[in-house]
Amino acid sequence: MGCCTSAKKKPDSQPSEILCRYPRSQKTYIKIHNTKGTVIDRQGVSFTVTEPILTTSTELDLLSEKILISSCVLPGFDPRGEHKKACQDNCFYLSSTEGILCCLFDGHGDEGEKVVAFCERVIEKFFTKSKSLFTDNPYEFIRNATIKCDSELLKKSSGIDSEYSGCTGVIICITATDIYCGSVGDSRGIIATTSTPEVLPAPPASLGEERKILAEIKRKRKSFIGRKINSIQLTRDQKPEDPEEKERILKAGGRVQKLKDEIGNEIGPFRVWRKNEDTPGLAMSRSIGDKVAKSLGVISEPVCTSYKRSSDDLFIVIASDGIWDAMDNKDVGTFVECNRGRCKKGVKNKGFGKEVHFGNAYIAQILCEEARLRWYTIVEEEDVMIDDISCIVIEIKRGNEVLAECSKGAIPVENNEIKITDEHSGEADKVGLSKNRMSLNANIRDPRRGSSMDNRA
């Protein structure tokens, strides 16, 4: 597992630089459970991580401002190597003299990677033809762009089978005075600021019951800064269990339930199903595409919000659930604030296959690498595939000045190997080290963790 190490601090000096390193070759130890959920063994799994399919860093002009934007997409993978997985995340940004447009899409289903590429083409074309709308009415621009992606995708001429395929989406327009946001699904945007809003937003969605396993690694890898920042959620996750969303789905004849394992235990997130069939199993209440789910109350209308900019704003992060499943809003905000000033800016990546660290990566990639490292803990506990991980980091105020304020960076991760000494380890129902993860773990928790249960990619 990658770790953070720090040099010794010299007397009367500024805090020394914390150097996070993310090796490409990794090994983790997956816990093996019996039918009672007791850990009875561990299996070592070695793997080489996937390299990013996208890394960018660009400085853009917004009237008199200089905005630094970086982005990254890390493909997900199966640490055991049993399943091949196509990357279904995509993100990009466009600009005009009046504003900056940032978009992130997280696909699902057999055609998910085609869907996100299709949405990029639609929005680029729409942006070119509708710059006046982008300037005059950002809300309407976001709404029309999102719905256009959906309507064009559902046409036969798209060449994409969207019966059981689709994507989440986050679209953010940044102007000199405001930030306008629209989202469908569970990808998310936050802004980090040193100001305290007059009206505090609703508490961010928790990592969920099945994510309590991340509490310890969060403690170990927590970043610390000398000043308080607020990580304000700009978008709203749309989950099937949300009362308003659920009511619409039930009225349309859909069903909202969690998946159940062979002995009836609920596992994973709430999903949208047909009333009498276990399909499509979509884990969100709004999306682009997903024609079958649309007949069950799932819609493509984005939830739109706005935020009035201030001189206290530091940066914006837009990310897929590959990050939010492993880190919460506050965690992401403090990690980025403490580390962004150390990262490379506007230079070409030094190549693949090399250890990633501050010296050869942008802050967007460092954040994605950190989230993936935390996914190893999820893999150890739940024996799952690692999700695609993507983000855009928009630095409104440069990060160099924050270095002296980081009292210390990420705490070094302790040795991940744990000796299993369980009183039930000698039970007769102890399973062998088969390659089949379903036989290894009787209480496996939603092993694919897909947004759609029809996702076979």
pLDDT by residue, tens only, the chain of 457 residues: 444 433 333 333 333 344 588 999 999 999 998 877 788 999 999 999 999 999 999 999 998 899 999 999 999 999 999 998 899 999 999 999 889 999 999 999 999 999 999 999 999 999 999 999 999 999 999 999 999 999 999 999 999 999 999 999 999 999 999 999 999 999 999 999 998 866 544 544 544 544 677 888 888 888 888 788 999 999 999 999 999 999 999 999 999 999 887 778 888 889 999 999 999 999 999 999 999 999 999 999 999 999 999 999 999 999 999 999 999 999 999 999 999 998 988 656 556 778 998 888 999 999 999 999 999 999 998 899 999 999 999 999 876 555 545 544 443 333 333 222 233 333 322 233 333 454 445 444 454 445 665 543 3
Q: What CATH number matches the domain at 50-202+222-237+303-422, 3.90.1200.10, 3.60.40.10, 2.60.40.1180, 3.60.15.10?
A: 3.60.40.10
Is residue 419 within 8 A of residue 233, CB to CB? The reply is no
- With vertex at residue 378, the alpha carbon angle to CA 377 and CA 383, rounded to the nearest 5 degrees, is 115
Which pLDDT score, from 0 to 100, does residue 216 have? 82
Nearest to 119 by CA among 89, 96, 156, 95: 89
Tokens 């508490």 sit on residue: 203
Which pLDDT score, from 0 to 100, does residue 304 have? 96
Terminal Cα distance for the chain, rounded:
27
Q: Determine phi and psi for 431, rounding to 5 degrees.
A: -90, 155
Burial of 303 (0-12, 13-18, 19+ CB in 10 A): middle
Which pLDDT score, from 0 to 100, does residue 213 have? 78
Which pLDDT score, from 0 to 100, does residue 417 have? 31
Nearest to 101 by CA among 67, 77, 134: 134
Other beta carbons within 10 angstroms of residue 198's beta carbon come to 5
Residues with Cβ within 8 Å of 287's Cβ and at least 6 positions away in sequence, in order, are: 166, 167, 168, 169, 184, 185, 293, 298, 300
**Where exactly are the structural domains of the chain?**
50-202+222-237+303-422
Which pLDDT score, from 0 to 100, does residue 410 have? 40
Angle at which helix 329-339 crosses helix 363-382, to 10 degrees, equals 140
Burial of 263 (0-12, 13-18, 19+ CB in 10 A): exposed
Is residue 271 within 8 A of residue 281, CB to CB? The reply is yes
Length of the chain: 457
Is residue 97 within 8 A of residue 79, CB to CB? The reply is no
Dihedral over Cα of 329, 335, 341, 345: its sign: negative
